[in-house]
């Protein structure tokens, strides 16, 4: 028995103590916010976790959940941040902070990139996988639709416009890719998809030009000329057909 007690004592003494054991929820929150403000995201996250448990069922616990999502996002844990926000949105559908949760979720996906590689290659949103952009758009759309007077609605609307432009640009990038490789039917399909789905965005000027060039390459002069008329009607000053532009037959994507 003495041996067993000794082992038990040793086991208990090796258990790490919780420095927040005697803290009030308000003190935990203050400490977590200090860490958050100072950029100590790894230290702030477990403090917000503790606060969620100790202040369960209170507005402070909800705030802790939102602050934890922000800390996870700033710490580079975007998947965890999105999961935390999804849980908040599901658990607190009537929360007065729901607009912020939707906004933060949209911002996280909006800023989602490919890490260091993206920065080195200067890759923009239109050249990446579009799932995050579409998820971001849906979060902003829900925010603006449900909370049109939210303090975040104006910025969300501006970001939505940018996302639409980038999604359209992505379609045109693919159409251009197919055209340069001689896959003219595929180029036509993607250019038409951009024109159909993203009305009024600037990149449609190039989409029409790709469409026109693809019809020409396939020996379809009537469709080529019809498309050219549409291009000139919508973009009378188009650089693609301007006299000072590229010589006829010269690929427009080449700089030499």
* pLDDT tens by residue, 74-109: 999 999 999 999 999 999 999 999 999 999 999 999
Percent of the chain with pLDDT over 70: 81
With a cut of 60, say whether residue 12 has pLDDT above it. Answer: no
What are 207-233's pLDDT values in tens digits? 999 999 999 999 999 999 999 999 999
Q: Where are the alpha helices (DSSP H) in 55-203?
A: 59-74, 78-91, 98-110, 116-121, 131-146, 153-180, 184-197
Give the pLDDT band of residue 22 (cuts 50, 70, 90): confident
Long-range contacts of 191-197 (CB under 8 A, 24+ apart): 194/168, 197/167, 197/168, 197/171
| Helix-then-strand count for the chain, H and E | 12, 0
| Predicted pLDDT of residue 130 | 79
* Residue closest to 13 by CA, chosen among 1, 21, 5: 5
Say yes or no to pLDDT of 141 above 90: yes
Confidence of residue 21 (pLDDT cuts 50, 70, 90): confident
| 3 state SS of 40 | coil
pLDDT in tens, 31-80: 999 999 999 999 999 999 999 999 999 999 999 999 999 999 999 999 99
> Can you give the pLDDT at residue 106?
96
Domain extent listing, the chain: 26-95
Q: How confident is the model at residue 17 (pLDDT cuts 50, 70, 90)?
A: confident
Neighbours of 105 (CB within 10 A): 26
pLDDT of 242 reads 72
Q: What is the pLDDT of residue 19?
A: 81
May I ask the CATH class of domain 26-95? Answer: mainly alpha
Give 176-193 pLDDT, tens digit per residue.
999 999 999 999 999 999
């Amino acid at each position: 028995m003495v041996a067993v007690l000794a082992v038990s004592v040793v086991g208990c003494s090796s258990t790490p103590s919780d420095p927040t054991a005697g803290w009030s929820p308000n003190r935990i929150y203050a400490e977590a916010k200090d860490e958050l403000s100072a950029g100590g995201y790894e230290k702030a996250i477990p403090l917000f976790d503790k606060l969620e448990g100790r202040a369960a069922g209170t507005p402070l616990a909800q705030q802790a959940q939102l602050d934890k999502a922000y800390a996870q996002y700033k710490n580079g844990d975007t998947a965890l941040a999105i999961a935390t926000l999804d849980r908040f949105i599901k658990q607190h559908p009537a929360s007065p902070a729901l607009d912020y949760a939707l906004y933060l979720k949209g911002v996280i996906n909006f800023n989602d990139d490919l890490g260091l590689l993206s920065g080195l290659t200067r890759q923009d949103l239109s050249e990446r996988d579009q799932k995050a952009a579409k998820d971001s758009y849906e979060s902003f759309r829900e925010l603006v639709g449900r909370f049109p007077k939210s303090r975040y609605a104006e910025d969300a609307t501006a970001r939505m416009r940018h996302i639409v432009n980038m999604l359209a640009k992505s379609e045109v990038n693919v159409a251009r890719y197919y055209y340069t490789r001689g896959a003219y039917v595929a180029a036509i399909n993607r250019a038409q998809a951009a024109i159909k789905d993203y009305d009024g965005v600037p990149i449609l000027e190039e989409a029409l030009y790709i469409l026109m060039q693809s019809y020409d390459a396939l020996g379809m002069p009537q469709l080529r000329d019809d498309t050219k008329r549409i291009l000139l009607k919508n973009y009378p000053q188009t650089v693609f057909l301007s006299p000072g532009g590229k010589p006829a037959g010269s690929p427009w994507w080449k700089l030499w």
